């Protein structure tokens, strides 16, 4: 039975928490979109990445219910795992979402960074609350439809943010522990570098660039390995 790598992406300073990401290093294990979507649903992680070309960093991203042209933690995780200077979400989505052919990546001490643009991120509602306590008190998920990113300033002068993310999709993911795409959108809206504490204690760092790009960085750690289901190895 084959195994997949399971990572925690955007871990806190103590190495805990982070969003769970599955990485199938050999994409040929699931050779088509249907089999990849079925495996992502069976695993139930927020995202699962299928590596189609490890040297070039070509990856295919799936949630339990849909395929994504861009997502922050899968690309940060893949860049860390494969020690890449660029990650390539693949294949192209026919212009649905304007994602570049290459997403640049770099390692900086304990942090892995990718460079992205806000227009690459899927639409999300960014809702500001008066205090971190109000964010903490939200039910999971809050009522309503569509992806919600709830946030409040912990320390506005220092750029410290408390946030929680609720996909509100019908795929079993009630709350995302860490969400790079939402951090990208919030950084673009506020126009400044942020230090975001999300979920139970995950940490996401962002830094706007001079050309409209934004860097998203965080820690990545190995989580417990799990075997691929037998049906995925046939």
Q: Where along the chain do its domains lie?
A: 3-93+220-233, 125-218
- Model pTM? 0.92
Instruction: Give residue 232's pLDDT band: very low, low, confident or very high (50, 70, 90).
Output: low
pLDDT digits (tens, 9 = 90+) for 142-166: 999 999 999 999 999 999 999 999 9
The H or E element spanning position 126 is strand 125-128
Same fold, 3-93+220-233 and 125-218: yes
* pLDDT at residue 210, rounded to an integer: 86
pLDDT digits (tens, 9 = 90+) for 168-178: 988 889 999 99
Q: What percent of the chain has pLDDT over 90?
A: 78
Tokens for 46, please give them: 């927020």
- Four-point Cα dihedral 50, 51, 57, 61, nearest 10: -10
Q: Is the predicted pLDDT of residue 40 greater than 90, yes or no?
A: yes
Q: How far apart are CA 181 and CA 201, in angstroms?
A: 17
Q: Mean pLDDT across the chain, nearest whole number?
A: 91
User: CATH for 3-93+220-233?
Assistant: 3.10.310.10
User: CATH for 125-218?
Assistant: 3.10.310.10
Tokens for 201, please give them: 């204690």
Q: How far apart are CA 70 and CA 72, in angstroms?
A: 7
pLDDT digits (tens, 9 = 90+) for 74-107: 999 999 999 999 998 865 554 445 565 579 999 9
Using DSSP's 3-state secondary structure scheme, residue 165 falls into: strand
* pLDDT at residue 134, rounded to an integer: 98
Q: How far apart are CA 123 and CA 185, in angstroms?
A: 9
In sequence order, the 6+-apart residues with CB closer than 8 A to the CB of 16 are 8, 201
Using DSSP's 3-state secondary structure scheme, residue 140 falls into: coil
Q: Which residues pair with 58 in a beta bridge?
A: 53, 88
């Amino acid at each position: 039975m084959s195994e997949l790598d399971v990572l925690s992406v955007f871990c806190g300073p103590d190495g805990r928490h982070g969003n769970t990401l599955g990485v199938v290093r050999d994409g040929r294990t699931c050779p088509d979109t249907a089999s990849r979507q079925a495996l992502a649903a069976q695993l139930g992680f927020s995202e699962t990445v299928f590596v189609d070309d490890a040297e070039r960093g070509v990856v295919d991203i799936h949630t339990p219910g849909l395929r994504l042209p861009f997502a922050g933690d899968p690309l940060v995780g893949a860049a860390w795992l494969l020690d890449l200077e660029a990650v390539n979400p693949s294949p192209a989505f026919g212009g649905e979402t304007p994602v570049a052919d290459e997403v640049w990546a770099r390692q900086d001490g304990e942090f892995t960074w990718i460079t992205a643009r806000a227009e690459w991120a899927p639409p999300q509602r960014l809702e500001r609350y008066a205090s971190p306590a109000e964010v903490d008190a939200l039910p999971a998920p809050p009522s309503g439809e569509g992806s919600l990113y709830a946030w409040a300033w912990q320390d506005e002068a220092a750029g410290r943010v408390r946030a929680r993310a609720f996909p509100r999709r019908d795929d079993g993911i009630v709350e995302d522990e860490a969400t790079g795409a939402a951090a990208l959108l919030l950084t673009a809206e506020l126009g400044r570098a942020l230090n975001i504490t999300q979920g139970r204690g995950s940490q996401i760092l962002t830094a706007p660039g001079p050309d409209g790009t934004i860097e998203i960085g965080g820690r990545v750690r190995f989580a417990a390995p799990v075997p691929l289901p037998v049906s995925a190895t046939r």
